[in-house]
Amino acid sequence: MVSQVKAVKIRVGLLVHDPMRLAGLSAICSNLPQLEPVQGELSKLLADLTLRFLVVDLKDARGAQSKNVDLIRRINTARPDLHQIVIGGGRR
């Protein structure tokens, strides 16, 4: 008898507001069968306890570099178990 084990998808939150970046990241995640992308605002993503990873696009975060650091700290404080992948943090 063959055991049928359902693969558990890894849910990845996408905190990305730029439509082109969101489309690209969603496509990458969707093409990997083990990943399930979830897009939303920060409060929604932090409340989703099924997320294991969070992609944070700092290019979308309006404001000074210190606000970007505050955003990362806020995520770390709220969900220390959530692995962050930070992109887009270049100079303006």
Q: CATH number of the domain at 44, please.
A: 3.40.50.2300
Half-sphere exposure of 72 (CA within 13 A, CB side): 14
Containing structural domain, residue 41: 10-87
- Give the tens place of pLDDT for each residue, 11-59: 999 998 889 989 999 999 889 999 999 999 999 999 999 999 999 988 7
Let me know if residue 42 belongs to a domain: yes
Q: pLDDT band at residue 60, thresholds of 50, 70 and 90?
A: low
Q: What does pTM read for this prediction?
A: 0.81
| pLDDT at 5 > cutoff 60 | yes
Q: Are 89 and 58 in contact (CB under 8 A)?
A: yes
Distance CA 82, CA 91 (A): 26
pLDDT of the residue at 63? 53
- Give the tens place of pLDDT for each residue, 22-35: 999 999 988 999 99
